[in-house]
Structure 1
Amino acid sequence: MRTRRPLAVAHRGDPWAAVENTLDAVRRAVSAGADAIEVDLRCTADGVVVLHHDDDLRRLWGRPESVAALTLAELRDIAPAVPTLREALEAADRIPLLLDTGDPVVATAAHAELGRLGAVAMFCGAAEAMAAVRARDERITLFLSWYGELPPSEGVLGAVRPQYFNPEHRFLSEEAVAHWHARDVLVSCWTVDAADRRGELLAWGVDAIIGNDLNGVVKSCAERAERT
């Protein structure tokens, strides 16, 4: 199972051109030619799935409140640029979103929202959250995010059944890429913003690159496709 062209995946939209995880960032990622757009998910106190990475609003919006402690209306009063998942899907148009969460509750809420909207997306994140989505949907595309040198256990792989193994790029090697391809699993990695490292990873056969330098990622993936 191999992709014809490596996927250029925008990290939190286009965070070098706009505030991450906002509609502006999503639209800019579309314009930049992203093949997919990774966004982070949280749930508000009234159960609405929104785009935001951190537990609280300090880093981006200068407020101490937790997203989970606020209703959507309260969140909109404090940080009106935080979009809902529904709004982000509309802004992405035909470019698929890669929905990132490590929380099984948020993951299943997002999956339910996709069902209500009749929308299609992919998921990435930690094993417990991905297993919760897989239990609901056998066909959905999952990226199993990974955070260390030791590989996931067979139990984890059996519960998630990921189409993509998705570690931090510094834990990848050419041998590891070959190993996952031999298991019929595609390989993605994050967050790659150095052109020389992108070139090395793509030469090894990595199938998707997630990065903040979106123009660079799009260019590297296109150049690799031209050479193969």
Structure 2
Amino acid sequence: MPSDLWIARSGPKPLIIAHRGGAALAAENTVEALQAAACCGADAIETDIRLTKDGTFVCMHDDDLRRLCGNARAVSDVDLATLRHLLPATMTLREALAASGSLGVLLDIKLADPRQVGRILDEVAGAHAAGRTMLGLRSLELIAAARSAREDIAILAFLEEPDAARRARDAGADWFRLWQGDASPERSALVRRAGLHLAIMVGQPRSTPLPEYPPFPVGLIDREGLERLRPIGPEAILLDDPRLAAGCFGQGLPPGSDQQSMPA
């Protein structure tokens, strides 16, 4: 079974997961962001995994470099040295596992090849980090492949269909992601009936915004949004600024924290 960090943790306070390492605290998916998240109440960090041309796993959300540095090339078309020339703070998977210390690590794997998931599992094992790592996987095939490879790794289903919790559980997932706009009490109950833990991703999906949804980009949320999540009782919340959730589910939101304004 996966570790106590991801499975046995329960109580009034959800696990606070710093999205993209803590994108409101420093440049996203960087060692600096991870270190800041650790000082700001995060229980875990989430980071994205892509593969460079020379086979290095790097922590990069987008499939190309347009947004981050104005370069049109895909991450998969450049080697690590070139990537670091363009973006000096580029963090590898190995560096993320080391820099995260004792924090949990959620790896949002942006790769569709089960063989690469196997390589990622090998790197996690080599860093002695399997007990605090969770894989975020985007297909039932990848979930099944990862579960077949390791029974002791936590798996979060990042599926597009919000009512697919039972299928995710049958494939081998332990956790299920709902977007904030999909996180109704009814859907949350479906996740729990499937025997899964619930993680809520705040903000709008990048691809298809949901109707009647808080007007914030992915990772951002305001006081009202956090208060609406309270009765749902998620086991984890993913957001750019861990200080907001730490305040809302602890001693109250910090002064001036009614709304995030940092870019996602």
Q: Same fold (TM over 0.5)?
A: yes
Instruction: Indicate the residue corresponding to 2:134 in structure 1.
Output: 122
Q: What's the CA shift for 1:148? A: 3.9
Aligned residue for 1:12, secondary structure, equals: helix
Q: Does 1:111 align with 2:121?
A: yes
* Conservation of the 8 A alpha-carbon contact between 2:165 and 2:176: no
Is this contact kept in 1: 2:65–2:72, CA < 8 A? yes
Aligned residues, how many? 222
**Residue equivalent to 2:179:** 168
CA contact (8 A) 2:166 2:191 kept: no
Does residue 1:18 correspond to 2:26, yes or no?
yes
Find the partner of 1:217 among 230, 245, 249. 245
In structure 2, what is the equivalent of residue 3 of structure 1?
A: 10
CA deviations 1:90-114 (Å, max 9, x no partner) are: 1111001100024243433321211
Kindly report which structure 2 residues correspond to 1:13-52, keeping only aligned pairs within 5 A, or say none: 13-52=21-60
Deviations 1:134-185 (A, max 9, x none): 2211121111123344x117544312x2221112111111122223223321
* Aligned pairs for 1:139-154 within 5 A: 139-149=152-162, 151-152=163-164, 154=166
Q: Deviations over 1:20-79 (max 9, x none)?
A: 111111111111110110100101112111100011111012212211112222222222
What SS does structure 1 have at the residue aligned with 2:29? coil
**Amino acid of the residue matched to residue 135 of structure 2?**
F
CA distance in 1, matches of 2:249, 2:117: 29
The answer for unaligned runs of 5 or more in structure 1 is none
Contact 1:148 1:171 in 2 (8 A): no
Q: Identify the residue that residue 85 of structure 2 maps to in structure 1.
A: 77
- Report the counterpart of residue 198 of structure 1 in structure 2: 226
Helix, strand or coil: the match of 2:21?
coil
Q: Distance in 2 between matches of 1:93 and 1:129?
A: 27
Gaps of 5+ in 2: 1-7, 204-220, 253-264
Query: Matched residue of 2:17: which SS?
Result: strand
1:221–1:107 Cα change, 3 Å? farther
**Paired residues of 1:41 and 1:101 also in contact (CA < 8 A):** yes
Change (3 A) 1:153 1:209: closer
Partners of 2:9 and 2:84 in 1: how far apart?
A: 42
CA distance in 1, matches of 2:136, 2:23: 18
What TM-score comes out, normalization by structure 2 length? 0.77
Separation in 2 of the partners of 1:153 and 1:94? 29
Distance in 1 (alpha carbons) for counterparts of 2:9 and 2:129: 25
8 Å contact from structure 2 (residues 165, 190) kept in 1: no
Correspondence for 2:61? 53
Q: Distance in 1 between matches of 2:76 and 2:183?
A: 34
User: Contact 1:29/1:214 (CA < 8 Å) preserved in 2?
Assistant: yes
1:9 shift after superposition: 0.8
Give the Cα separation in 1 of the matches to 2:251 and 2:188: 20
What is the percentage of aligned positions where both structures have the same residue?
32
Amino acid at match of 2:10: T
- Structure richer in helix, relative to its length: 1
Residue 68 of structure 1 is matched in structure 2 by 76
- 1:158 is matched with which residue: 152, 167, 170? 170
